[in-house]
Every structure is written in structure tokens, then in C-alpha cells.
Amino acid sequence: MRLTSSYYADVHAALREALDEQGLDGFLATAPSDVAYLAGFFYAVTERPVYLWFPRQGRPVCLVPQLDDEYARLQRIEADIATYAEYPGVDPAEKVLARLIGERGGPAARIGVSGGLTLGAHRLLSAALPRAEFVTSAVVAGLRITKHPEEIARHREAAAICDEMIAAGRALIEDALHSGGPLPSEGDLAKHVIGYGTDAMYQRYDHVIYTTKLAGGLVYAGPNSAHPHGLPSRRRLEPGDTVILSLGAAVGSRFVESERTFVIGEPTDEQRRYFATAARAQEVGTLGLRAGRSCAEVNRECLDVIRQDGFGAYIRHRQGHGIGVQNHEPPWVEDGDDTVIRPGMVLSSEPGVYVPGHGGYRISDTVLVTEQGPERLTRYPRALEENVIA
Amino acid sequence: MRLTSSYYADVHAALREALDEQGLDGFLATAPSDVAYLAGFFYAVTERPVYLWFPRQGRPVCLVPQLDDEYARLQRIEADIATYAEYPGVDPAEKVLARLIGERGGPAARIGVSGGLTLGAHRLLSAALPRAEFVTSAVVAGLRITKHPEEIARHREAAAICDEMIAAGRALIEDALHSGGPLPSEGDLAKHVIGYGTDAMYQRYDHVIYTTKLAGGLVYAGPNSAHPHGLPSRRRLEPGDTVILSLGAAVGSRFVESERTFVIGEPTDEQRRYFATAARAQEVGTLGLRAGRSCAEVNRECLDVIRQDGFGAYIRHRQGHGIGVQNHEPPWVEDGDDTVIRPGMVLSSEPGVYVPGHGGYRISDTVLVTEQGPERLTRYPRALEENVIA
């Protein structure tokens, strides 16, 4: 799953250029996703900080807790490696970092940090580096917003696995129906599809790494499916249920999501109506993801389909969001984000219709924006007639 | 898994008293673990903020994204519920929050926040509430450091499940050995034990909720076990391997961890030596977790066992840490933490010996500090003779 040194060289060159433009002496990455993106270090996130110091000139250096030293070397990360003993520590990470930056020379007066830095860490860093000014900067977020060809290749691989996870979930329900046994619970289904995805990763890749997870998913059926972010419950599926499989997978921590709505047995008129609206909104929204348009504009057109069908009261969320090293990241396909869509962006398209007490309807694809238009990376069939489980 | 309203009433009363003492008009909880602790709301964490405003007087109110509205009601959270539309939003969460605080009246000039608040959120909140001063305060962390009897009951239940997960992992290896088939890979073992724990949760509890996970684990064998935080790999276990099962489980999001070291087949003298040191350090460290002693002092005594055996170069981390709504939380059983141990604390005790290229040795228990001394909540056998898999 490792990205090549050539990928990192490209990213580093782009970051140096952006630092120059913003008049920053370097960037101090503190978010696990930024560290993964810039240096290819993937680690179990705890209270022990990892600091990646990326100076405008010279080699980046990654300060890791001692317990991750050999693990970072094993991953052949694209930075020098330094360690501190422990957290909170008699000689805390921030003091070690300050000495490290000092020893390496080079200016460090204006240091870029992400807005995700915590007040607590900011205070410790300011005390350890009293002459530095920490400037919140979207310099790395700006790079991450469009994807490198090597990243896109990983997104494609993840999309294939995610579609297979959907198929595995459907098969579990279908097999239970055909055998006449009890249907699986939401929890059973979630375990099955996540297990499928995890197994696939281990089978296909020598070296498995991730920031948060290899494969994950929410599974809800019947009335529970009206809660867009509810956790899978012990409720068993029943004939007549609307079922949402809302699944994600990441190869080299490059995420995708694929979500499909199924109906168990012959759909009612009510189910057909809601499904048709959700599917049409998703189609309109997906086709709208073209270079030059704004996220807010596409989102409005997409959700207008639901409003015009009279189901505006059943909207619970925006059309979608960017996907990359994190499963949710900028830009946001939402009214409040005027970002102009560009080739190389990878975006989810997932409007939903949620009817309290009845159920929810959501189809999500992961979409690559190309010069030629939107390309759906996830390809599992979307139409109702293909997703009736009987 | 839901804690009772009486538990929340106790916590709320304690928080009000602490706010009084610190001269704060209220606390604005932004960390998912604080929101879970104070209001019993468990949700999928995304970029969409959840703000729990807990005034010194009056009812707390939880501001959630619209998509979690019904889900929060379903959980019968211990706060009023208000919603904002979306992230980033035309009317962002912070502006909605400012109006909400205004409408509810009551002073809101000095607002406590945790050090985990991000610079980005702090800037938005300061702009939306220009007359408020946001004061980082450990007021909620201070409450969380000792556990309520209802929480301890959940920790006990989680400990029983975690021990069963260890047994399930051992059985998988044992069954493979006895059947003469290939041994499982680290990834297989991880999937098996996490699946066991997740199934147990769904079987035992009507309503399953969590902040980060129900059950999780790291599994490493042979040379990989020398990386304390390495992710499970596809490497198959082999006769002669040292194997660490480092597992966690949470009931009502009250975490425990249980970790055991196994040897496949007759241990070598080298394995016996490292195991004996790790086991003795753990015994000394665990017995040291007594009210009145300092975390730093106990940690030093514990790790001294390893140093005195001549294996100081193989230490990679502290003795342990607090466990509660998060799997790692204060206090830290480490040289840099002088916190005095008190009854009601729940702490991990998990010193380790890590020999590069050879393997690692770690035993971890979750320990409740009582007036009478330390009580191990996790009880799976620890001794080498009991953990040889043959």
C-alpha cells in the first residue's frame, strides 16, 4: 500500500512552493492525516503527540514517541526520525521538538500549523519555542484538496473493495432469505461486511497501514435507517425493510465510500416514491460535479430535486464532501462552501431522504472530477429494480 | 448500556460545584468523550461539531447537527437538544450556539473549555461570542479522573468481555495447532477477537453505544511484537513465536484493556527470561497502585524491575494510564505525572519489554484503586506456564 518516493517528492516540492508563497519558514504537521499525507507515517493515535517539522529548506523530521521508533523505520517514512521518551514526560515532546528545530538550523520564526491544533498543544509549543509565531494556515489542506495520480490509483482500488463489501452484505441477506433462516441483525451485517473488507486488504496487500480504519460501515434497516448516523443495532432485518449499507474502505489510507439502499421484498408505493427521489437527486448531484462549478451551487441543485418532490422536510444533510486521507475532508458540497470544483478532486455524492418512523434512502458514490466530467469510482448497481432483495 | 439519570444527576451536581469553585459561568464541552460523560450522547464523530453548553445554573443544552437530532432523542440524552443545519453551513454551528446561549439567559462571560479545543473552533467561537472569555479548564477532566459506582460496574462488565476475547484468541491458535492446519495470521486473529467482543456486546445489551469502538485490539507475533503499537500484519503465526494479544472493550463506552503474552510451543530460555521480567514488573507495578502514592513513583518502581534485570534498553513506554470514557485518559502512570492516586481511579498496568528483531512481552490489567488496595478487573491467567500454547 506504500506510495512511492516519487509521490512524496512531488508533494514536498508543492509544499515548499506554497510555504514560499505564504512567507512561512515551515509547517508543523500535528494531525495524523497530515503526517500520513506528507511523510507516509501511519500510527496508532493516542495522547502521545507526533510532530512533523517540515522546513521550507532542508529535510523534514518526524518526532515520534520512543515506542513508535522502530515502527516508523519499518514504514520507511519520508522524513528523518527523532524520538522523545514518553507522555507527559519529564522532558516533554514540545521541548525535544524545540531543540531539534534549533539544532537543524534554518529560520523558524513563522511556523504554519493547521486549525486542528489544540489550545493545549499550542500553549506547550509557544512556551517551548517562545520566539516562533504559530500561524494557522490551510497550506497543507490546500494541497490535499486535489489528488495526485498515485492517490487516485489507491482510491480506485478502495472503490473496488467497497463495492465488493456491498455485494457481500447483500449476499448475506439473500442467503438468509433463501435458506428460510432468521435474517441477520444490523450488527451481524456490519461485522460481515467490515470483515470482508478487512480480509480483502490483507489478502491483496503485503503491508497494511491506515490512519483510522481499513474498512468500516454503518448498517441500518427499517425505522433505524431514518437516522443517518445511527450505530448498527441488534435489530434483525425484516421483510419489507428499507436497508442502507453505508460502507467505507481505504487503501493506503485513501478512502472511498459506497452506499446503497435495498428493499427486502416487493417495494411498496411509498418506498418506490422515496427511493426514486433519492436516486434522482443523487444522479443530478453527481452529474453536477464538474470543474468550474461551485460546491454550493451543485448542492443546491441536488437537494432541490428532493424539495421539488415535496420531501424537503426529510432532508437531513448536504450532498457530500471531499474524501482523501480522511473519510471526510474539504471541500464540502454544501450551501456554505463556495469552493470551485477542480479536476483531481474526489468527492462523495450522497443526498438522502429520511422519513422518521419509516426509513431512510441514500445512495452514495465516490466521484473523481476529471477534465471530461465526473467519474464514479464506485460502481455497484444503484437502481431499485436491481436492489430489491427477494 | 445506558447509565441512569441518577448517575447524570450526581455528575451534574459535581460539575456545578466545580464551576462555582473556579468562578466559571459554565462549561462548553466539545470533546466527544466529555459530551458522552456529561450528557450520555454518543455519535459518529465528523467535522460537524457537537457543543454541549453546561451553564452553572439551569439545564444543559446540546447543539447537534440536524442529522443527529432524532438519534439524540432516541438516546434520551441528559440535556435539551437544539440543532443546526449543516457543516460548514450558511448559519454555522457557532452562530447558532451564540443565539442559543443568549436566549437561555444567565451569565456567560467566563466559559470553561478543555485544552482539546482546536484553534479553528476557538476562533469561530470567539467571533460568535465576542464578549465571552474562553478559559481552558480541567474541570471536567478532574471529575472524570475518579469513577462513579455506575461507571465501575460498566468497567467490570467490559473486563469480563475483554478476558473472554483473550480466551477466544488463544482458542483460535490452539485449534489450528491441534488440527494441524495453518496458523492464523495476525490479521485473522485480530478479526476473530474483535468479532467475538462485538458479538458479545450485541448479545448482552439492547442498546449498543460507543464513542470510538465496542471492541478492538492489536495482535502481533514474533518480531512484530517488538513494535508496541504496530498494526496487525498478514504474517502468519509460527511455532516458537511470542504472541501479544493487546485487547480492549467498552461497555457504555467505559473502557478496559486486557493484554497477555503467549508463547507457541516450549519457550526458550531467552523467552523465559524476558517473560519473567515483564511479568514481575507488572506485578510490582500493579501492587503499587495504592491510594496516596504518586503515579511517577509507582512507574519508577515498576520500570526499575526491568532496569535492574539489565533490560532497560528494551523499555519503550511507561507503566500505564487512566481509563474511562476514553481508552487512554489522565492520570498517566509515568515519570512526568505527580498525580496522587485515589480510590475510584481505574488505571492500566502494562509495562513491557521489547527486544528488536526478537519480540515483545507485555501483560496489562485494568486496575481499580480501592480503599483496600488495587483490584484487578481483568483476570485472565498471567503466568507463562498457563500461557504456553502447545
Summarised one tens digit per residue, pLDDT across range B156-178 is: 999 999 999 999 999 999 999 99
- The pLDDT tens digits for B121-155 are 999 999 999 999 999 999 999 999 999 999 999 99
How far apart CA B305 and CA B352 sit, in angstroms, is 11
Chain B touched by A136 (CB under 8 Å) = yes
Phi then psi dihedrals of residue A29, to 5 deg: -85, 130
Rounded to an integer, the average pLDDT of A356-372 is 97
Q: Which residues pair with B29 in a beta bridge?
A: B52
Calculate the average pLDDT of chain A: 96
Domain range annotation of chain B? 5-144, 149-389
CA–CA min distance B364, chain A (Å):
16
Contacts of A218 in chain B (CB under 8 A): 44
In this predicted structure, what is the pLDDT of residue B215?
87
Examine residue A331 and say whether the peptide bond preceding it is cis (omega within 30 degrees of 0): yes
Whether A195 and B198 lie within 8 Å, measured CB to CB: no
Calculate the average pLDDT of chain B: 96
In this predicted structure, what is the pLDDT of residue A207?
82
- The pLDDT tens digits for B21-50 are 999 999 999 999 999 999 999 999 999 999
Contacts of B334 in chain A (CB under 8 A): 86-89
- The pLDDT tens digits for A192-241 are 999 999 999 999 998 887 878 888 889 999 999 999 888 889 999 999 99
How far apart CA A257 and CA A249 sit, in angstroms, is 7
Q: Residues with Cβ < 8 Å from A386, sequence gap 6 or more?
A: none
CB pairs under 8 A between A and B: 176
In this predicted structure, what is the pLDDT of residue A358?
96
Q: Which residues pair with B354 in a beta bridge?
A: B360
Quickly tell me which residue has 448517575 as its cell: B7
Nearest residue on chain A to B329, judged by CA atoms? A47
Assigned CATH class of B5-144:
alpha beta
Rounded to an integer, the average pLDDT of B252-275 is 97
Q: What is the pTM of this model?
A: 0.96
Judged on CB neighbours under 10 Å (0-12, 13-18, 19+), A286 is buried
In this predicted structure, what is the pLDDT of residue B116?
97
Mutate which: B91, B206, B207, B234, vs A, most A CBs within 10 A? B234
Residue B212 reports pLDDT greater than 90: no
Rounded to an integer, the average pLDDT of A106-125 is 97
How far apart CA B64 and CA B78 sit, in angstroms, is 14
Burial B274-288 (b: 16+ CB within 10 A, else e): bbebbbbbbbbbbeb
Q: Residues with Cβ < 8 Å from B385, sequence gap 6 or more?
A: none
How far apart CA B66 and CA B317 sit, in angstroms, is 42
CATH level 3 topology of A149-389:
Creatine Amidinohydrolase (3.90.230)
In this predicted structure, what is the pLDDT of residue A211?
78
Chain A touched by B192 (CB under 8 Å) = no
ipTM of model: 0.96
How far apart CA B320 and CA B332 sit, in angstroms, is 6
In this predicted structure, what is the pLDDT of residue B206?
84
Whether B86 and A199 lie within 8 Å, measured CB to CB: no
Contacts of B316 in chain A (CB under 8 A): 66-67, 69
Quickly tell me which residue has 467519474 as its cell: A375
How far apart CA B334 and CA B321 sit, in angstroms, is 8
In this predicted structure, what is the pLDDT of residue A217?
87
How far apart CA B200 and CA B215 sit, in angstroms, is 10
Share above pLDDT 90 across residues of chain A, in percent, rounded to a whole number: 94
Nearest residue on chain A to B313, judged by CA atoms? A66
Position B208 confidence tier, pLDDT thresholds 50, 70, 90: confident
Q: State the cell numbers at A189.
A: 451485517
Phi-psi region of B63 (alpha: psi -120 to 50; beta: other; left: phi over 0): beta
Contacts of A198 in chain B (CB under 8 A): 187, 191
Whether A118 and B117 lie within 8 Å, measured CB to CB: yes
Rounded to an integer, the average pLDDT of A88-93 is 98
DSSP conformational letter for B353:
E
